[in-house]
Amino acid sequence: MNKAIIAGLAAGVLVVGLIFSPLFNGFPLSAAQAAPTGVTRHYTLIANEKVVQVAPDDALHPGGIMYNAMVFNGTIPGPVMASNVGDTVEITLKNEGKQIHSIDFHAAIGPSQVLSGNVAPGESKTWTFNTPNSGAFLYHCGADGLNGVWEHIANGMYGGFVVHPTNEAPAKEFYVVFGEIYNSADGGLFVGANKTGSFDITKFATEQPDLILTNGMAHKYAPAVGQAVKLTLNANATLFKVKPGELTRWYIVAPGPNEGVSFHFISGQIDVKDGSFKGRGMTQERNEETWWVPVGSASVIESTFPEEGIYVGVDHNMAHVVRGGAFVVQATNNSTADDVPPEAWVPSKAWLTEHPTMGGSMTGGSAMEGSSGNATSSGGNATSSGGNTTSG
């Protein structure tokens, strides 16, 4: 073989080796993991099945769209949970539904911490995991040992877990989850559905989502588009509000189950805080116009909106925008620290530090153990996949 070719191949192998070596790897490594803090945070997730509204009554979806969903704590998405890096997290999963459910936590490492194992109807399971690496992470139902996991995710059983780094600057924080719906009863845009639909495996297998949800509903935070010709998207839309010039932090979650999110702020730019270099916290920063959040992942995105006005966060796949993947941010001097929509509120690093034994709360009531509306499980002896199973 030509010596030049051999030299080129050797150089290529060296470059690849360096990229994936601990010296250059941008992902959290065991050597960079934080020491345990001694703090344990307690969360409860309640799995169930219920009918939810996933699109408003508008021109795109006449009459609105209802759907047979699967949920954690009553809503799509499940509650955002959070810890400070190095905390221990105790999770209780209680199954109040009619199907087998389970949990896969991307924030943890190792089968005994990541996976709950099956939780049958009427049962609950409690286990713990550590959070040695900072970042934003997906959690989702694992169905029956992964059999049907695609359906459970498509039906809404997902959420985000935030691990705050030690060096994190204060910011106004928001939780936004983009999810897909494959609906057997949805006739398409401007047609709608005349009944409550269920998971459509043909649409799923051919990657043809009917809707892109933002925190559980298409165009939940997008009232309309158009100036000369106006198209109402959601007459009851909520707007995100920020102060001009303040640092904002967005936890963007892409559960799929098929497609990621090309995230962009119209009229803005973003700093991406994903990854972790050896010996440091979440300091890998990139200035971007559009950032790809892969399916099954989450990103930490910071942005400052320089002047008053309207900004729009979108999945820059335009087919996704028209199906619901957009939200409006209003920069106004009238914004306050407390005007975050409840379902988008994230337990901040400061809040967690002030409440050292508690978790946080979000959609559908709290995921925090002992809070109103949530059950806690008793200890059990039948251990499976790192958890204790008890009868309900």
Domain coordinates of the chain in residue numbers? Answer: 40-391
Kindly list the strands in the beta sheet with 123-130, ordered across the sheet, starting from the edge strand earlier in the chain: 65-72, 40-55, 88-95, 123-130, 387-391, 382-384
Q: Check residue 111 and give its pLDDT.
A: 87
At which residue do the structure tokens 């337990």 appear? 347
- Strands 158-164 and 81-84: what pairing? parallel
Candidates 248, 225, 239, 228; CA nearest to 321 is 225
Residues annotated in the binding site for Cu cation, as ranges? 101, 106, 140-141, 152, 157, 316
Two tokens, residue 222: 């997008």
Handedness of CA 361, 364, 369, 371 (dihedral sign): positive
Rounded Cα–Cα distance for residues 371 and 97 (Å): 20
Candidates 194, 272, 111; CA nearest to 103 is 111
Residues annotated in the binding site, as ranges? 101, 106, 140-141, 152, 157, 316
Assigned CATH topology for domain 40-391: Immunoglobulin-like (2.60.40)
8 Å CB contact between 291 and 272: yes
Rounded Cα–Cα distance for residues 10 and 156 (Å): 47
In tens digits, what is the pLDDT along the chain, a chain of 392 residues? 444 443 443 444 333 333 333 333 333 334 456 677 778 999 999 999 999 999 999 999 999 999 999 999 999 999 999 999 999 999 999 999 999 999 999 988 888 888 889 999 999 999 999 998 999 999 999 988 888 899 999 999 999 999 999 889 999 999 999 999 999 999 999 998 989 999 999 999 999 999 999 999 999 999 999 999 999 999 999 999 999 999 999 999 999 999 999 999 999 988 888 754 444 455 556 677 899 999 999 999 999 999 999 999 999 999 999 999 999 999 999 999 999 999 999 999 999 989 887 664 433 444 544 333 332 322 222 223 333 333 33
Half-sphere exposure of 300 (CA within 13 A, CB side): 25
Q: Check residue 112 and give its pLDDT.
A: 80
Q: Check residue 367 and give its pLDDT.
A: 55
